[in-house]
Amino acid sequence: MPQFYGIEVSSRLLLGTARYPSPAVLAEAVRRSGTDIVTVSLRRETAGGRAGGAFFELIRELGVRVLPNTAGCHSVAEAVVTAKMAREVFAGNWIKLEVIGHHDTLQPDVFGLVEAARILVGEGFAVFPYTTDDLVVAERLLEAGCQVLMPWCAPIGSAMGPQNIPALRAMRAHFPDVPLIVDAGIGRPSHAAAVMELGYDAVLLNTAVAGAVDPASMAAAFAAAIEAGNAAHHAGMLEPRDMAVPSTPVIGKAVFS
């Protein structure tokens, strides 16, 4: 099973907690997913005033590890301050780092991301950076002290699925020993299975479950797809061929005249 910053987890699915129709639906989706880790946007929930406190209490009652994130931050300063607030609220040093650079695509500001990561690692944080599939950016994040990378496969909430399989495959090959979590853009269980077949360690998703007609059942479907993709990768899949290959041997076959 994967390890993140020395912590072994039993599930390869990380689940977001936003946009669920009710706290009860969220709790059931978390249970059916089997996840060990949920992400929480500190800015989104604290903006709700008293409701934010009730939400944090619900999250604690789920009995899973919390990965706070800096969603909604568009500058290094915002992200660093939010991360420090999250450490106080949740009494932990894990942080999913987002520094958004484009309002429409929600693409990361990779320059600000590297800068913020370097600051937070220096402050003792275990940083999970939401990044692109660019290998140079990935190298800079590792140099800054990140021990996990979280490349997107499509824009946040788009449900488009993997848009650049060759780039994701190259990242896995280039960083064979780094935990890699595909984050953002997953829309269907088949998308999750596809990236796990590339050898990724885990998938983080939110909208595809929270926005489903039956979030709990969708969470279970994603959990199964992720395990299937991981199993297929380790079993060794056939590569595509340019021509047909008969499944029934022709050597030794009887000849009728």
Q: Which residues are catalytic?
A: 96
Amino acid at site 28 = E
Phi, psi at 117, each rounded to 5°: -60, -45
Tokens representing 233 are 């990768």
Tell me how far apart the alpha carbons of residues 219 and 38 are, in angstroms, rounded to a whole number: 12
Nearest to residue 153, comparing CAs of 99, 110, 192, 197?
192
Residue 135 has a CB neighbour count (10 Å cut-off) of 15
| Residue corresponding to tokens 């029934």 | 248
DSSP tag of 28:
H
Give exposure, 102-125, as e/b (b: 16+ Cβ within 10 Å). eeeebbbbbebbbbbbbbbbeeeb
184: left (phi over 0), alpha (psi -120 to 50) or beta: left
